[in-house]
Every structure is written in structure tokens, then in C-alpha cells.
């Protein structure tokens, strides 16, 4: 039995609609595929030397190498700072007249200390006919020898420079 004309027309319209829909979906899929191909070509380098993936991998490797370098430099800096605490880098000089009849403040005391206040004090007392020089050890800002007021002042000045 053959379908009647109305049913055949209805089936034909439905088939045409499905075919039209399939055509629209095929065109949309083709457009999307074309965009994906362009993106993929861009990622692959598009004819240039490096692809995007290769460039990213190279940069990741370079960043890892830079991180290693920074870590090494940080350790070196910590070592240098540790060494620097033992350096005699806090210095103070006090000049004075050791004798009332002498002018020009030719006598002096120098304090040379590290960060812990360890080091030495050098004193040079200048008179008319002679000069005497003394060296006294300093530990923690103090000496086991008796200190003159000028030596104490020089140590105070030097330790102040290490605090501020």
C-alpha cells in the first residue's frame, strides 16, 4: 500500500528539514574545525622555528635554571653575611689632648670591633718628647684591662655604630 499524497508531502518536508538541519550543523562543525586547525597551527609555530609548546618548554627549563642560580646566590649571601659578622667593621676614633701643655689633639684612641663587640682598642698618647702606643683586647664591648675614659668612649661610639 502506497502512502497517500499528504503523508508523502509531510515525510518529504520532514526529510528536507532534517537535511537542512544537518547541513547547518555540518557548516558549524566545519567552521569550528577550521578555527581549531588555525589554533593548532599557531601552537605548532605556524612555519616559524619554535612551536608554542617548544618555547614554553624552553622557558620552563630556563626558569628552573634561574631558580637554581638564585638559590645558590642566596646561600652565598648567607655565607658572606656570616663572615661579615666577624669582620672588624665598627670603627671609632677619639682625638684628645693627653697633656694640658700640648695642643692640637695629637693623642687618639681607635676602637676596631666586630658585630659582637669583639676586637681591640689602640691608644697613642703623644707628648713633647715621646709617644706611647697601647693595644688592649676587647670582648663583648669590655676589656680585661683597665680602660681610660677615651678608650671607653671610643668603644661606646663603635658599638653605637653597630646598633644603628
Tens digit of pLDDT for each residue in 76-119? 999 998 888 888 889 999 999 988 877 788 899 999 999 889 99
Domain holding 72, by residue range, is 57-86
Pairing type for strands 119-126 and 107-113 reads: antiparallel
- pLDDT of residue 33 exceeding 90, the answer is yes
pLDDT at 146: 93
Angle at 98 between CA 124 and CA 147, to 5 degrees: 65
**Positive/negative CA dihedral, 71, 73, 75, 81:** negative
Beta strands in the chain (DSSP E): 90-96, 107-113, 119-126, 131-138
Shared domain check, 97 and 77: no
pLDDT of residue 15: 94
Pair 108, 140 in one domain? yes
Q: Does residue 133 share a domain with residue 105?
A: yes
Q: Give the total number of structural domains in the chain.
A: 2
pLDDT score of 93: 96
Per-residue pLDDT of 34-56, as tens digits, reads: 998 888 777 766 656 677 777 88
Q: Residue 119's pLDDT is what?
A: 94
Report the C-alpha gap between 86 and 99 in whole angstroms: 36
User: Which grid coordinates belong to 42?
Assistant: 599557531
Same domain? For 134 and 104 the reply is yes
Confidence at residue 160, expressed as pLDDT on a 0 to 100 scale: 86
> Is 64 found in the same domain as 95?
no
Is position 108 within any domain? yes
Considering the domain architecture, whether residues 72 and 94 belong to the same structural domain is answered as no
Amino acid at each position: 500500500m502506497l502512502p497517500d499524497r499528504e503523508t508523502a508531502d509531510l515525510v518529504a518536508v520532514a526529510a528536507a528539514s532534517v537535511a537542512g538541519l544537518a547541513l547547518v550543523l555540518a557548516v558549524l562543525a566545519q567552521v569550528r574545525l577550521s578555527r581549531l586547525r588555525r589554533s593548532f597551527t599557531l601552537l605548532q609555530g605556524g612555519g616559524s622555528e619554535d612551536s608554542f609548546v617548544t618555547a614554553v618548554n624552553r622557558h620552563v627549563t630556563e626558569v628552573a635554571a634561574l631558580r637554581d642560580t638564585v638559590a645558590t646566590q642566596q646561600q652565598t649571601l648567607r655565607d658572606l653575611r656570616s663572615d661579615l659578622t666577624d669582620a672588624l667593621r665598627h670603627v671609632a676614633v677619639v682625638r684628645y689632648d693627653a697633656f694640658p701643655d700640648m695642643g692640637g689633639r695629637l693623642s687618639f684612641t681607635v676602637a676596631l670591633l666586630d658585630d659582637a663587640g669583639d676586637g681591640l682598642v689602640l691608644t697613642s698618647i703623644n707628648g713633647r718628647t715621646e709617644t706611647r702606643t697601647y693595644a688592649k683586647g676587647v670582648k663583648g664591648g669590655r676589656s680585661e684591662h683597665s680602660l681610660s675614659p677615651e678608650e671607653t668612649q671610643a668603644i661606646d661610639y663603635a658599638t653605637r655604630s653597630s646598633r644603628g
